[in-house]
Amino acid sequence: MEKKIACITGATSGIGWSTAIHLAKAGFAIIACGRRIERLEELAKVLPPETPYKYLSFDVRDQAAVNQAFESLPMEWQEIEVLINNAGNAHGLDTIDQGDVEDWDSMMDINVKGLLYVSRKVIPGMVDRKSGQVINIGSIAGKEVYPKGNVYCASKYAVDALTKSMRVDLNPYGIKVMGVHPGAVETEFSLVRFKGDSDRASGVYNGFDPLTADDVAEIIAFAVTRPRHVVMADVLLLPLAQASATVFNRNQT
Ligand code: NDP
Ligand code: 8X3
């Protein structure tokens, strides 16, 4: 492959979708991952036409499926230079005494274990080649807790800890490890958190301009195109109206 390869999980929607487009525009070949195959096929149509493109459909919770997907890549697609660990969601918003255990399992399995399964398949190649970049998408929820955020926050604190640990473990190999931690971004995120309740989901962004997926993708594209010696290690990205995990100026618009 002439172009460097970027692999993006959670590329069927939101931040992952926009990141695939921005990295393709920056000259990368794209491997897009997600469960919804029709979206992965749709993505091919909106990338710059010269973009080499492959998609892998799997559930990040299924370690065997993750392994099989990456092992299915043809030789010319195996040298992944950039890994964007983005797949993830919140499921539910309840106090700790009332949380749904299935929601808890989903968040830990997807946001933490899924990230690990994908990383375990992709990072050894980077170590062998002594080259690569990993960006983990955390959240402001991995920097501060908020009421009813409990398990989602825990999953994102884990992403932050793993990001820092990866940076340490991979330091001898010249692999860049970065954490991008957004505040409120309007994507399908809240629709998933509130299980399809669109009124409740859109209410999250009432009265202010949230970040867009493109806003986050632009930062990711900037981070991965820095000179070799520069690492944007940790970025907290907020909309103007958001001052912390809980403080919003909802009279902004
Ligand atoms: P979206 O809901 O729009 O996108 C989530 C993506 O994750 C989809 O592509 C989805 O693909 C994928 N995904 C979810 N579950 C699985 C699974 N089990 N297996 C494989 N892929 C999965 O949300 P965002 O774009 O907003 O979220 C992207 C990341 O950003 C997440 O890690 C989220 O926690 C984080 N984030 C989001 C913020 C926000 O306010 N929106 C703020 C801070 C961080 P598919 O369903 O096709 O499998
Ligand atoms: C998504 C942002 O504040 O809903 O990670 O947790 S928040």
117 is known as an active-site residue: no
Q: Is the pLDDT of residue 253 over 70?
A: no
Domain 5-178: what homologous superfamily? NAD(P)-binding Rossmann-like Domain (3.40.50.720)
In single-letter form, the type of residue at position 242 comes to Q
Q: Phi/psi of residue 251, each to 5°?
A: -110, 25
Q: Is the pLDDT of residue 241 over 90?
A: yes
Catalytic option among 55, 152, 157, 205: 152
Distance 184 CA to ligand 2 centre (A): 6
Decide: 252 and 163 in contact? Cβ < 8 Å: no
Decide: 34 and 110 in contact? Cβ < 8 Å: no
Domain ranges, ordered by start, for the chain: 5-178
Q: What per-residue confidence (pLDDT) applies to 252?
A: 75
Q: Where are the alpha helices (DSSP H) in 72-134?
A: 101-107, 115-129
Q: What is the pLDDT of residues 192-216, one digit of tens each?
A: 999 999 999 999 999 999 999 999 9
Cβ–ligand 1 contact at 32 (below 6 Å): no
Q: What per-residue confidence (pLDDT) applies to 1?
A: 85
Distance CA 156, CA 133 (A): 20
Distance CA 216, CA 25 (A): 15
Decide: 222 and 191 in contact? Cβ < 8 Å: no
152 is known as an active-site residue: yes
Distance 84 CA to ligand 2 centre (A): 18
Residue ranges lining ligand 2, Cβ < 6 Å: 139-141, 149, 184, 245
CA distances from 198 to 101, 191, 208, 233 (A): 23, 6, 17, 35
| Beta strands per DSSP E along 43-123 | 53-57, 80-85
80-101 mean pLDDT: 98
Distance 13 CA to ligand 1 centre (A): 7
Cβ–ligand 1 contact at 190 (below 6 Å): no
CA distances from 79 to 4, 126, 129, 224 (A): 8, 8, 9, 16
Decide: 54 and 31 in contact? Cβ < 8 Å: yes
